[in-house]
Amino acid sequence: MIQVYHNNRCSKSREALQLLEEKGQQLQVIDYLKNAPTADELRSLVQKLGIKPEQLLRKNETIFKAQFAGETYTDDEWLQIMAENPILIERPIVVNGDKAVIGRPPENVLAIL
C-alpha cells in the first residue's frame, strides 16, 4: 500500500493525491499535521528519499524564518525539530515500499508506482 504524507490545504499535495487516485492505487493517506511523524519515522523517510534531513524542510514557513533560519543543527536535531513542528515538513511525501519521493512537482509521484 502506498503511503501519502498529505496536507489537504496544499494544492501540490492535493494534485499528487489525485494523480495517485486516478491510477487506481490503494492509498494510506496520512494527515501529518494532525498525526506528526516521530523523529525516527522522519529518519526512515529521509533515508528512503536519499536526502539529508535539512533538505526536507520548508524554509519559507514563518516558523522557520522566525526560529531556525541561519542556525546550524545536526541531522538528529533537524529531525526532532520537524517532529515537533510538522508544518516544516515538505509535502507531499509518497512512500511505496523502500522508495519515496517528494511530490513537487506532483508528477514526481508517478516515478515510484
Dihedral (CA of 64, 10, 35, 16) sign: negative
Catalytic (active site) residue 10: yes
15 phi/psi in degrees, rounded to 5: -65, -45
Exposure of 66 in the CB half-sphere (CA atoms within 13 A): 5
Exactly one of 5, 6, 10, 102 is catalytic; name it: 10
Where in the sequence numbering do the catalytic residues fall? 10
